[in-house]
Structure 1
Amino acid sequence: MNEENIIELIKKEVMRYIKFDNILNKNIEIIGEDLLLKDELSKKFEISDKGECLVVTTIGIKEMVALSQGTYDNDYCEKILKELLNGKKIFLIEEGIAWRKYKKIPLSLKVIYEEYEKKIEKYGIQISKRLEIQEKLIKKSKYISEGILDLKKIKNEFNSSKVIEMSKDVKITELAKEFARENEIKLLKR
Structure 2
Amino acid sequence: MAVIELAGVALAALLSENFVLVSCMGIGTRLRAFQDPIDALRTGYCLTAVMVLSALLSWLADFLVLTRFGWQHFRLLFLCLLIPGIIAGLRLFVRVCLPELSRRMDDNLASIGTNCAALGCALLISQRSYGLGSALVFALFGGAGATVAMASFASLREEVSFHHCPRCFQGMPILLITAGLMALALVGFYGLHLT
TM above 0.5, yes or no, is no
TM-score using structure 1 length: 0.28
The alignment's TM-score, normalised by the length of structure 2, stands at: 0.27
Determine which structure has the larger strand proportion and give its number. Answer: 1
Structure showing greater radius of gyration is 1
Higher relative contact order (CA 8 A, sep 6+): 2
